[in-house]
Each structure stands twice: as structure tokens, then as C-alpha cells.
Amino acid sequence: MTSPNLDDRIETYYVKVRGMVQGVGFRHATVRQAHALGIRGWVANLEDGSVEAMLQGSANQIDRMLSWLRHGPPAARVTDVAGEERHTDKRFERFEQH
């Protein structure tokens, strides 16, 4: 019996990052990290000072991206990362900053 390959199934995950995450290059660094990991989706600032992102990739890619988001770039101070898997048929072509 073989285990499911975590690189085959595409997952979509919505995440909200709170803390000192605006004005510190968080979105730009997130785009660079997503490109490095092969993640697709987007990242955007919210009016409440947090950052939201939609991540799409394999389970392994998503796990590595979530791990990075818990710290962010050096100037950021992340206090909370909350997210949930989203079920969608939409497939993003790239990772963008909004």
C-alpha cells in the first residue's frame, strides 16, 4: 500500500497574517518566497493592518509557505497566522501582489 503523494494534489489555502506586516516589505517578500516555492495565488494588504493571501500548490509547497509566513521578512513582526483550506476549481497562473 502506498501513501498519497503530497506533491500531486493541488490545494488552495486562504491565510491572514497579523502583526507588524505592512510597510515592511511583507508583500514583496511573500511574492519572492512564493515564486521560489512554486506557489500560485496572491497577497494583499487589508485595511485593518493585516495581510491576506491565497496560496495554491501542493500540500508540501503550502506547508513550506505557511512556515515562512509565520516569520515573514526580517523587518516584520508576525503575531498571528490564521487560515483555512478553500475548495475551488479556479487555478491561478502565477503569484501576484495586489
What is the pTM assigned to this prediction? 0.90
If you classify domain 20-88 with CATH, what class do you get?
alpha beta
Could you report the per-residue pLDDT of 14-38, keeping only the tens digit for each?
Answer: 999 999 999 999 999 999 999 999 9
Provide the β-strand partners of residue 19.
78
Provide the β-strand partners of residue 52.
16, 44
CA atoms within 13 A on the CB side of 30: 33
Could you report the per-residue pLDDT of 52-98, keeping only the tens digit for each?
Answer: 999 999 999 999 999 999 999 999 999 999 999 999 999 999 999 99
Domain coordinates in residue numbering, the chain: 20-88
The residues assigned a catalytic role are 27, 45
